Structure 1
Amino acid sequence: MPSATAPPDTGSAGCVLDRDGMGALVRELRARGRTVIGPTVRDGAIVLAELESAEELPYGWGVELEGGHYRLRRRADAAAFAHSAGPQSWKNFLHPERVRQWTADRGPDGELTVRAEPPAAASFAFLGVRPCDLRAIQIQDRVMIGGPHRDDAYRERRTGAFLVVVECTEPGATCFCVSMGTGPAAQPGYDLALTEVLDETGHRFWARAGTARGAEVLDSLPRRPADEATQDRARRGVAEAAGRMGRTMPPVDLRDLLADTLEARRWDDVAARCLTCGNCTMACPTCFCTTSEDITDLTGDHAERWRRWESCYDLDFTHLPGGSVRTSARSRYRQWLTHKLGTWWDQFDSSGCVGCGRCIVWCPVAIDITEEAHALHQESLADRAGAADGAP
């Protein structure tokens, strides 16, 4: 869903904010009654949390990423956004892990009163949204409010959310947004876009408005016109980042690849490593599955229904009266990957993967979605070559 109507002139060169301007941006958003959420250092990671000032941004911090590996590292400069996706995504705020749906109470006369839990009012400003995560939000919009099964709680949180996208100039070792067409440059859908620039002339942010309300906020900040040197340096940084992706997907139609390799031998290989823990689905910014659970107090006079995240790796996810449909790790991993890269297209007209790499980093056994896709591709090529040669 769009953030606002009537975008300003997209041909504008924007303006330049310095570090004080970033501080003013956070103050302005808070003054407008918004809860500002952005990256900050906490518990040995760069996490998303409410910011009271821009000084809480992770200035001078970067990350070291690999399969099953995440470490903070000090940078030689004071960059605020030179880090890759952390353990959380904006899904944690728009589609929270646990939401109470209703409560029921039995009165002294035995009468039962059921009260629906109204969606909590929210006015978010998300600062530091990566282009891949902007696409993830748009995908969740399509799932939650773009079809016949609308999620009113999600819609309440999403409507009016102010999105400040920060383009990537330093991709991580597990990033592959270029393969998925989601970055590192900002795509339409933001209110403000920033590109961080650090060079011999200073630390600054090239800022552009994508909506009328974005332009209104930008106009209220201390700024200066965007000079060509800053614009060129910003564009060059993003272009160079596109050439430094740590991972790639095979250059084929992934939807067709997954449909053609349902019986591939590779599924047995990955099943031998997969713990079916569901970490990848929890960290993924687009996975949306939920289940409901009911709880009561000891007296039986009070009950609540909660909705919580669920994972297709859970044995009970496909439980039917006759038992679970997918009892093996092979079947559950295959379901996740074929849905994410393939049948998501049939449901939502897009891929379910944005190339953020979180599933690689937060997998405890370092299973790599790009490695699996390349392996399936190579097995498919080998099988075709063998068939052409007349091999059994």
Structure 2
Amino acid sequence: MSEELQVEDVRSCFLSSEQFAKLFEVLYGLDYEVIGPTIDQGAITYDRLTSVNDLPRGWTDIQEPGKYRLQERDDDALFGYSVGPHSWKKNLFPPVSTLSVADRTDEGWQFTEVEEDLPKMAFLGVRACELAALKIQDRVFLGGAYVDPIYQGRRVQALVIAVNCTQAAATCFCTSMKSGPRCQSGFDLALTELPDGFVVEIATPAGETVIEALRTQELSEDQLSQATAARQQAVDQIERELDTTDIRDLLMSNLESPRWDDIAERCLSCTNCTMVCPTCFCSSVEEVSDLTGDHVERQREWDSCFNMNFSYMNGGLVRNNVRNRYRQWMTHKLATWIDQFGTSGCVGCGRCITWCPVGIDLTQEAAAIRKDSQK
């Protein structure tokens, strides 16, 4: 698990493209399972990688509200895209987890807890907004009195290899949330891609162990200048904004705004925004039996506040319409999350905007509520 260090605390070097290709051998030699970006079903997703050839070389993503498509680049960049539909959440907080099992025996029911054989995972290609999301999920699952053992077991073994953004999508607004696009902390290694290799920032002993197994070079002034310019390019491309000034009080004092009805007419309550969000953590627990009824598993599954039955209690639904469910999601993400965890639940990755089938943009909705409240 990456230590909380700042950029000024790290040392830097240059890793050629040829040596970067050997990174996979080094990671597998250290018993890491490498998870990173690859192309699957027309999108850049996170999956198991075996070599540099699995990366989306020469591809980028074009994103708009409700739209996503891949497009070929005019170079061979390996990380020349922003973020896709997957986040690292699925590797640390799996969509389905078996918590315990029960088997009927001659002596009665026998209950056992499930012990996972957890792999050491190396996350390759983590963006700055995703580092911020990991920090938020750490607070949710590890920071309180009750620690989630499934998340903890996976998180403490994870090696984080971040990649600084050199381009931004039209749906990105990480600058508003102060979460990017520069990787500041929470990584073991951070890379900035140049045409002939990578500027590498080494922040932890675990990161140092990996780099020591590769042949690196001292950074030149030209390489430092190129890296700075490449990172600034992403900053300059970000146009979408979310005004966070007193946003908690703004939303909580406008719970009856007519804007919620306007949103409800468009929202499909499909749960896409919560599924792609890197910080949403709602779940439910189900008892799943085999056909004989002699084996039962207690499973935790991802759930969503957009599902009608998620608010079911005491024989009724607390949020029985789309208006209430969208309002619950947005006010929790941007307002009451601050009460619970001391931070916003949004990192500005823009996934909820891109993957909303009707293109609802929470930055626009927050701005509309602010404008209405000022009239």
Calculate percent identity across the aligned residue pairs.
45
Answer with 209-218 or 79-88: which moved more: 209-218
Q: Provide closer, same or farther for how the CA distance between residues 374 and 7 of structure 1 changes in structure 2, counting only shifts above 3 A.
A: closer
Taking the TM superposition and a 5 Å limit, the aligned residue runs for 1:47-66 are 47-66=45-64
Asked if 1:197 corresponds to 2:190, the answer is: no
Residue matched to 2:314: 321
Deviation at 1:206, TM superposition (A): 0.5
Structure-2 change in CA distance of 1:294 and 1:337 (3 Å) = same
Contact 2:3 2:187 in 1 (8 A): no
Off by >4 Å, runs of 4+ in structure 1? 4-9
After superposition, the C-alpha distances for 1:264-284 in whole angstroms (9 at most, x for unaligned) are 111111011011111100000
Aligned partner of 1:370 in structure 2 is: 363
For residue 3 of structure 1, what is the aligned residue in structure 2? 2
Distance 2:359 2:5 in 1: 45
Aligned counterparts of 2:132 and 2:25: Cα–Cα separation in 1:
27
The alpha-carbon distance between structure 1 residues 83 and 312, as it changes in their structure 2 partners (threshold 3 A), is same
Matches of 2:185 and 2:7, distance apart in 1: 12
Counterpart of 2:274 in 1: which secondary structure? helix
Unpaired segments ≥5 residues, structure 2:
none
Tell me the C-alpha RMSD between the 2 structures: 1.6
Instruction: Structure 1: state its 5+ residue gaps.
Output: 383-392
Distance 1:67 1:7, change over 3 A: closer
TM-score, normalised with respect to structure 2: 0.97
Q: Which amino acid letter does the alignment assign opposite residue 125 of structure 1?
A: A
Instruction: Name whichever of 356-365 and 248-257 sits farther off.
Output: 248-257
1:232-257 deviations in Å (ceiling 9; x for gaps):
11112212311211411025222222
Query: 2:33 maps to which residue?
Result: 35
Match of 1:87 in 2: 85
What is the match of residue 218 of structure 1? Answer: 211
What is residue 70 of structure 2 aligned with on the other side?
Answer: 72
The amino acid across from 1:162 in the alignment is L
| Shift of residue 119, structure 1, vs aligned partner | 3.4
C-alpha distance in 1 between matches for 2:337 and 2:116: 27
Shift of 1:301: 1.3
- Aligned twin of 2:263: 270
- 1:323 CA displacement: 0.4
AA aligned to 1:206 is V
> Which residue of structure 2 lines up, in the alignment, with residue 310 of structure 1?
303
Mapping 1:175-190, distance limit 5 Å: 175-190=172-187
Taking structure 1 as reference, are residues 11 and 99 closer, same or farther at Cα in structure 2, changes over 3 Å only? closer
Query: Are 2:356 and 1:357 equivalent residues in the alignment?
Result: no
Alpha-carbon distance in 1 for matches of 2:351, 2:343: 19
Deviation string, structure 1 residues 327-386 (Cα, Å, up to 9, x no partner): 11111100000000011011111110000011111111111111111111111122xxxx
SS at match of 1:243: helix
Structure 2 SS opposite 1:225? coil
Tell me the residue number matched to 1:389. Answer: none
2:24 to 15, 23, 26: 26
CA-CA distance at 1:297 after TM superposition: 2.3
Inter-partner Cα distance in structure 1 for 2:181 and 2:74: 23
The 1:370/1:6 distance shift into structure 2, 3 A limit, reads closer
Structure 2 residue corresponding to 1:136, chosen from 133, 136, 146 = 133
Mapped to 2, the partners of 1:228 and 1:8 lie a distance apart of 18
Q: Highest Rg: 1 or 2? A: 1
Q: 1:170 aligns with which of 167, 172, 176?
A: 167
Counterpart contact for 1:105–1:303, Cα < 8 Å: yes
**TM-score normalized by the length of structure 1:** 0.92
TM-superposed deviation, 1:51: 0.7
Q: Helix, strand or coil for the counterpart of 2:25?
A: helix
- Which amino acid is 1:140 matched to? Q
Change (3 A) 1:376 1:8: closer
Report the AA paired with residue 3 of structure 1.
S
